[in-house]
A and B are shown apart, each in its own frame.
Chain A
Amino acid sequence: MTQLEEFLTGRIWLRQFIPFSNEQVNQAILNGSITVRLGIVDGKQCTRCLEKSPEKIIPFYCDACQKICYYCRHCIKMGRISSCTELITWSLPTPLPLQSHSFNWTGNLTPLQQRASQEVQKSISQKKDHLIYAVCGAGKTELLFSPIFEALNKGLRVCLAAPRTDVVLELTPRLRAAFPNTVIHSLYGNAPEENGFAQLVIATTHQLYRFENAFDVMIVDEADAFPYSYDLALKRAVDKAKKKDAPTVYVSATPSKLLLKQVSQVSQIFKRFHGHPLPIPTFQSLWGYEKVFAKDQIPKKLVDWVDQKIEKHEPFLLFFPTIELIEQAIVLFKHKYPAIEAVHSQDEKRKEKVMKLRRGDIPGVLTSTILERGITVPNVQVAVIGADQSIFDAAALIQISGRVGRSSEYPDGEIIFFHNGITRQMDKAKKMIISYNGGL
C-alpha cells in the first residue's frame, strides 16, 4: 500500500487538508483511485456527517464562488464543509492487510464474561448485530479482547467507537497493551497524528464522520441512548463508517427499549466482575433546595452528608442538574470547604481534577452529568442533588449509581438521591438496579 492509500482507505477527507501533495492527489484522481465529491449535495445534506436539518446547513454568500453556498455547522470543528469544498475517498477495495497480530493479556474472565465473549465472537462470525447488556463494572472491555483478536487474525478491520473522548483515552492503552503488534489508531478531537494503515481504530463516534464504508466489525461502547435524540447523528455516523453488511456490537448498561427490540443477539451480565451486588440508591428529600442555594446557603442535609464523608476521608461526587446551579453552589462550597472543586463539560482541567480526587488531594467534586460514565474512583460516595429533575432520567441515574463500589477493595459505597419529590424515573432506576442484583 502506498502512504496515500494507507491514509485514505475507508476515509472521507477534506481535499484541502490532506497531508499529501496536490500533484500526488491529482494523479490518483486521474488514474481513478481517488473519487472527488462535493461537500453539500443538492438536497442540502452534508456529505461527511450526513446532517440535513436547516438549523445546521446554513446558506451564505460565498465570495469564492460569488453565489450562495451552504455550509454544515454540525461537523464544522473538523474543518468546514461547504457546497464548494471537495471531499475525497479512496475508490479501490481494501487489500487484505498482511499484519500478524499477537494477544498479550493474562487476566481471567468470570464465567459470565467468558460466555458473553463467546457469544459476541459467534455473532461477529455470523455477521449478526449483538448487544452486550452489562452493568457498570461488569468488565465489558476485557470480554471484547478475544473477539477482537479473532477478527484481526481474519484480516477484518475493526472499529471500537465511544461517544466521549475520555473513554477513548481510557481504552487506548489497554488495547495497545493487549495487541502489541497491531497498528492501532486512537482518534478524537486534537489527537496527535497517526501513521500507516490501522486495522484497529479506537475513535470517538464524532470522528467516525471521517470514515466511509471502512469497517468489517463495528463495536459501539456506551450505546445507551441509541438510537435516540442527538444520537441519531451518531447512529448515522456508525452506519456510514462500517461496511454495509458489517455487524455492530453494542455495549450498554442501560440500553433503550428500541435497541433491545432491534438486536436479537443479547448477552446479559448483571454481576460485577468482583461478584458483589450493585449499591442500591436511597432517597432523601431536600425540599426547596434551589431556593436555599439562591439565598446563598447550602441545604442542611447536604452539609451534614458532606461533613460525614470528609470526616471519614471518603471521596465524593455531587451531581447537579444544571451548570448554573453548579456555579452557584461551588462558591458556597468553596467558602466552607476550600479544597472542593467543580467540573463541567468545557472544563480543560476536568481530568486533572478527577485525578486529584482519586489521589485524595481534594475531598470531593461537584459535577454535571458529564462525569456519569467512564470514571473510577475507589471508595467514591455519590449524591445526586435534584434527582427529580428531568435531566436525570432512569438511564442517567443508573449510570451515576454505577460509579459506586466498582473496585474490589471497596465494593460498597453510598448512592443517595436528594430530591424535591420522588419521580417515576427515580423509582425505575432503583427497581432496575435491584433487579440486576437478582431480586425484585
Chain B
Amino acid sequence: MNCYLCDRVMTLQVTWRSIFFNEQGDVVCLRCQTEFERIKIGCPICSAVGDEKCLDCCKWENTEYAGLINSGRSLYRYNPAMKEYLHRYKFLQDVILSEVFVKVLQETLRNEKSVIVPIPMNEEKLKKRTFAQVDRLLDAAGIPYIHLLGKNEVGLGGKSKAERTALQDVFWWNGKPVPEKVLLFDDLYTTGSTLRLAAKVLKEKGAKEIKVVTLIRA
C-alpha cells in the first residue's frame, strides 16, 4: 500500500495486533506521521502554547461568553505539514484523508462519557464541498456522535472580530434533547468564537458541562 500523503510505498507492518484484532494498518508512512506535531501541553481550554490559561481564553472570560467552555484540548499544532494536510482534505476535497488521524481520535475520544457533538456545516456550503469534513473525521474513527445544531448562512470569514462576536445567530438548536455533558468537536480552533457560539446555544438549551476537542490549534 502507498502512503496517503506522500504516495511512497509503505512496507506492510504485520503486528500481533493487526492479526488478532484485525486492527487497521497505518494509512500514512512513518516519515509523514512525524511531520505532524502533537500538542503535549498548552492552555487548558484551547491548547495554545504555554502551560496556563492563555490570554485569549482569559479575555473571553470578560465577555458574555464567560464560563461557557469548561475545559478543552486540541491535538495538533498548525505547522506546515498540517496546513498542507488541511488544504488537501478540505479544499482539494480528498475525502479519504479523513482516515489519517483515526488512531489519535480513537485514543482521545473512545472512552468519552460526554455526548459528542460535531460543529455542523451550513447546508449550502455542505452541498458545495460535497462532504462534512468534521463528521467524516469521527466516522473514520468509528466514534459515535449526534447533531444538535444547525448553522446559518452567515460565514465568519472576512468579518472583524467585533462583528464576529456579535453574530449571535450563527447556530440554532435542532430540537433534539440536549444532554447535560456535551463534547463539542471541530477540526480547527482559530479564534475560538465558533465553539463559543455553539456552546452558548447548547447551554441555553440545558447543557451543564461543555468540553471542546479540536484536531488542530491554529
Contacts and interface: CB of A to CB of B under 8 A. Distances in A.
Contact of A64 (B88, B92, B95, B130): B130
A55 B94 CA distance: 13
B93 A80 contact: yes
Interface string B78-116: 000000000010001111100000000000000000000
B127 A80 contact: no
Nearest to A80: B93
A55 B1 CA distance: 9
Interface size class of B (residues with CB under 8 A): 10 to 19
B132 interface: yes
A58 B94 CA distance: 9
A71 B130 CA distance: 11
A64 B127 contact: yes
A76 B94 contact: yes
Contact of A73 (B94, B130, B131): B94
B31 interface: yes
Nearest to A62: B130
Contacts of B130: 60, 62-65, 69, 82, 84
A58 B96 contact: yes
B128 interface: yes
A304 interface: no
A58 B95 contact: yes
Given A55-B2, A324-B31, A61 B131 contact: yes
A62 B131 contact: yes
Q: Find the residue from A63, A64, A82 having the highest chain B CB count within 10 A.
A: A63
Interface in B124-142: 126-132
A76 B132 CA distance: 18
Given A60-B130, A63-B132, A76-B93, 20 more contacts: A55-B2, A58-B96, A60-B95, A60-B96, A61-B131, A62-B130, A62-B131, A63-B127, A63-B129, A63-B130, A64-B127, A64-B128, A64-B130, A71-B95, A73-B94, A76-B88, A76-B94, A77-B92, A82-B130, A323-B31
A207 to B, nearest CB: 17
A324 B95 CA distance: 29
Interface string A325-357: 000000000000000000000000000000000
Closest 4 CB pairs of A and B: A60-B95, A64-B130, A80-B93, A64-B127
Contacts of A58: 95-96
Interface in B50-67: none
A63 B126 contact: yes
Interface string A19-62: 00000000000000000000000000000000000010010111
Interface residues of A, number: 18
Nearest to A60: B95
Contacts, number: 38
B94 A63 contact: no
Contacts of B128: 64
B26 to A, nearest CB: 15
Contact of A63 (B2, B96, B131): B131
Contacts of A80: 92-94
A214 B148 CA distance: 52
A71 B93 contact: yes
A58 B136 CA distance: 14
Contacts of A62: 130-131
29 contacts: A55-B1, A55-B2, A58-B95, A58-B96, A60-B95, A60-B130, A60-B131, A61-B131, A62-B130, A62-B131, A63-B127, A63-B130, A63-B131, A63-B132, A64-B127, A64-B128, A65-B130, A71-B93, A73-B94, A73-B96, A76-B88, A76-B92, A76-B93, A76-B94, A77-B92, A80-B94, A82-B130, A84-B130, A324-B31
Interface in A66-89: 69, 71, 73, 76-77, 80, 82, 84
A63 B95 CA distance: 12
Nearest to B6: A346
A323 B131 CA distance: 35
A294 B42 CA distance: 34
Nearest to A327: B31
B216 to A, nearest CB: 21
Nearest to A345: B6
A18 B88 CA distance: 21
A84 B96 CA distance: 17
A55 B9 CA distance: 13
Interface in A306-336: 323-324
A321 to B, nearest CB: 13
Nearest to B128: A64
Nearest to B92: A76
Contacts of A323: 31
Contacts of A60: 95-96, 130-131
Contacts of B2: 55
Contacts of B92: 76-77, 80
